Structure 1
Amino acid sequence: MKFFVVSSLVASAAAFSPVAFRPAHLRGDSQLDALKPGQTPIVIGVAADSGCGKSTFMRRLTSIFGGDVVGPLGGGFGKEGGWETNTLVSDLTTVICLDDYHLNDREGRKVTKRTALDPLENNFDLMYEQVKALKEGKTISKPIYNHVNGTLDTPETVEPTPIIIFEGLHPMHDERVRDLLDFTLYLDISPDVKLNWKIQRDMEERGHSLESILASIEARKPDFDAYIDPQKKDADLIVEVLPTELDKEDKKTLRVRCIQKLGVENFAPCYLFDEGSKIEWTPAPGKLSSPAPGIKLASYPDDYFGSDVQVLEMDGNFDNIQELVYVESALSNTNTKFYGELTQAMLALADAPGSNNGTGLMQTLAAFAIRSLYEKKAAIAKKSEKATAAAA
């Protein structure tokens, strides 16, 4: 295996790094001109519970697509006048947080005694209207749910870009919205892993007590089981995060499965070595070094809620992202443009959570699949436009 390409990968990794956030309505440039007149955006839905890594996944998506990032994801104040948004915008991509479609603010939910996971606390009629409008190339005035103080703020103007991502609790819950989505993903975090992540985020980083974290999880569980979890059966791609099977006592190492539906238009699942075969692979330690309990990859066909799927799996961590190029050489249908691009994209966000295990790898593969989907649809639209012009 030759690793001479890695130095150039490291050198070019900075090209993927986002610039400082700036409020979209305070920009003086024309970054949104990427959507040409008459062009139909592709619309992606990403579903997951809170605290399940959606923000990290969005960073990977937007870094793959390129362009300057001009708005914060997950809530943030601009420097001028306390402006707050959840929307992330780049040249090609707009990421909209579905929390913005909450019907009531935090105080209002105390009155209704419903969680934000309950569909009755979300405005699906408006969500449908605005997803449809953006897909038709129209500008919308979208609500803002302020995560800092729990209020509903003044709506913001959102212009369509070639790729629009709706991420949050319910992108596939409403059938009308689901039918508008060109591709759907679900981030499925097992209860044990979710607890560990919430403890790290809320206890270690936000100062919450263990008791309050456990109480919050238990309070949300009935609504999560009823309204959020069922969406995974409708997803085209599921990233499933589980405890490792390499050491049953290990509570930190992860086993990650990328579950890819067969027969999805413009999408070919990624696999190891030989399509349709069941493969279990332990890379040579000299080519992909790994801390205990080691590392194992697998690829196999399976059934998922009655659908035929191709599964790609990684269990364990790796020490050096540059060595991932060895795994990249064994993968097919990665949707990369050149050998080494997968490793380059991982290096670009080396500081992001999951960059040394299967979460980062599977999320990056999903990002390349979405980019490929966009390019295929854009090519089809261009071909149709030329045919129409020739017939005129």
Structure 2
Amino acid sequence: MSKRHPVIAVTGSSGAGTSTVKRAFEHIFHRESIKPVIIEGDSYHRYNRVEMKAAMKKAAEAGNNHFSHFGPEANLFDKIEETFRAYGESGTGKKRYYLHSDEEAAEHNSRLGSALKAGEFTPWEDIPEGTDLLFYEGLHGGVRDGEIDAGRFVDLLIGVVPIVNLEWIQKIHRDKAERGYAPEATVETILRRMPDYVRYITPQFSHTDINFQRVPLVDTSNPFIARDIPTPDESLVIIRFKDPAKFNVDFSYLLAMLQGSFMSRRNDLVVPGGKMGFAMEIILGPIIDRMLAERD
């Protein structure tokens, strides 16, 4: 961990809603004129899109029907840890991009003078000098596997953890809307990933500094037939602080600022779902300000 070069990681499963936290951080960075280096978890996959399909097929032929993006075989866990360590020590390191779409490919091809396609990676390049902090958003910000422990080099580790039925509903609807996947195909993906989900995704949330868990207030008992995603106003968000004293959390202030909020345990704050983004900003903004002030 580093005071001079802070590392912040947001970790959550596919469909968990980590993009909501990312937007909250973007607002904080813009408001406070903070210059982050942003690292996307997908850039640490071991295989590009074509290679991953081939690797999955090969694994299935060998009797492994659970090969997934959640596990170590398909990721570079050591490079995640190394990136966090190197940045914390010196504010430098390497990064690359996974190109999710043709639009992203065109943007980076223009920058690099390359001819990369969607589903491929850009080459590794140096993290630019002069950044204020590293911000990671992806699946494995706090991953542990054998001697690898990425979270030990993170100064602020945040989990985004909707209850699992809601997570599945969000994934099914997102995959259909954004990627054109049939719900049946997404369910197959969920089943294939389950062993790695249990071993490598869920354990991270025991080590996070703060968890944001959205809980719907409507029936989600069968997520595979849900016609829509519960709205924020149909939800509550449980915000769990592992060690409130570590970040000087003022619960009285938060309760006053977040109308309708209450404490369910000594370190669990419950807020209306529609106030999740606001809650993130008033909780995380002061923490980041203190981090940057302590660099000097």
TM-score by length of 2: 0.74
Deviation for aligned residue 1:62 = 2.1
Aligned 8 A contact 1:192 1:243 in 2: no
Among 76, 88, 91, the alignment partner of 1:123 is 76
- CA-to-partner distance for each residue in 1:177-230, whole Å, 9 max, x for gaps? 221111111000112222332243222444332222222222222211221011
- CA-to-partner distance for each residue in 1:30-78, whole Å, 9 max, x for gaps? xxxxxxxxx821111211012322223212112112269xxxxxxxxxx
Tell me what 2:8 maps to. 44
Distance in 2 (alpha carbons) for counterparts of 1:370 and 1:201 = 31
Pairing 1:191–2:164 present: yes
For 1:93, the aligned partner's letter is P
Structure 1 pair 203–41 and aligned structure 2 pair: CA distance change class (3 A): same
- CA-to-partner distance for each residue in 1:239-282, whole Å, 9 max, x for gaps? 011112xx5589441111111122553x022424799xxx9xx9
Among 133, 155, 159, the alignment partner of 1:163 is 133
Pairing 1:271–2:241 present: no
| Structure 1: stretches of 5+ with no match in the other structure | 1-38, 69-89, 284-295, 303-309, 317-356, 383-392
For 1:230, the aligned partner's letter is P
Structure 2 SS opposite 1:107: helix
230-239 or 151-160, which deviates more: 151-160
Among 96, 102, 120, the alignment partner of 2:45 is 102
Structure 1 pair 101–362 and aligned structure 2 pair: CA distance change class (3 A): same
Which structure dedicates a bigger proportion of its chain to helix? Answer: 2
Distance in 1 (alpha carbons) for counterparts of 2:252 and 2:169 = 30
C-alpha RMSD over aligned residues: 3.1
Aligned 8 A contact 1:256 1:313 in 2: yes
Aligned 8 A contact 1:131 1:177 in 2: yes
Aligned 8 A contact 2:212 2:237 in 1: yes
Tell me what 1:377 maps to. 294
1:214-363 counterparts in 2 under 5 A? 214-244=187-217, 251-252=230-231, 253-262=234-243, 265=246, 267-272=247-252, 296-302=260-266, 310-315=267-272, 357-363=274-280
Deviation for aligned residue 1:138 = 4.3
For 2:70, the aligned partner's letter is L
Number of paired residues? 254
For 2:74, the aligned partner's letter is E
Aligned 8 A contact 1:45 1:184 in 2: yes
Which structure dedicates a bigger proportion of its chain to strand? Answer: 1
Tell me what 2:109 maps to. none
Tell me what 1:368 maps to. 285
Pairing 1:57–2:21 present: yes
Aligned 8 A contact 2:216 2:230 in 1: yes
Distance in 1 (alpha carbons) for counterparts of 2:244 and 2:168 = 34
Distance in 2 (alpha carbons) for counterparts of 1:167 and 1:59 = 11
Distance in 2 (alpha carbons) for counterparts of 1:65 and 1:211 = 39
221-230 or 134-143, which deviates more: 134-143
Structure 2 SS opposite 1:211: helix
Identity of aligned residues (%): 25
Tell me what 2:111 maps to. none
Structure 1 pair 254–119 and aligned structure 2 pair: CA distance change class (3 A): same
Deviation for aligned residue 1:96 = 0.5
Deviation for aligned residue 1:232 = 0.3
Tell me what 2:142 maps to. 172
Structure 2 SS opposite 1:154: coil
TM-score by length of 1: 0.57
Structure 1 pair 192–369 and aligned structure 2 pair: CA distance change class (3 A): farther
Structure 2 SS opposite 1:146: coil
Higher relative contact order (CA 8 A, sep 6+): 2
Distance in 2 (alpha carbons) for counterparts of 1:61 and 1:367 = 8
For 1:178, the aligned partner's letter is G
Aligned 8 A contact 2:235 2:272 in 1: yes
The structure with more radius of gyration = 1
Distance in 2 (alpha carbons) for counterparts of 1:40 and 1:313 = 33
Aligned 8 A contact 2:39 2:95 in 1: no
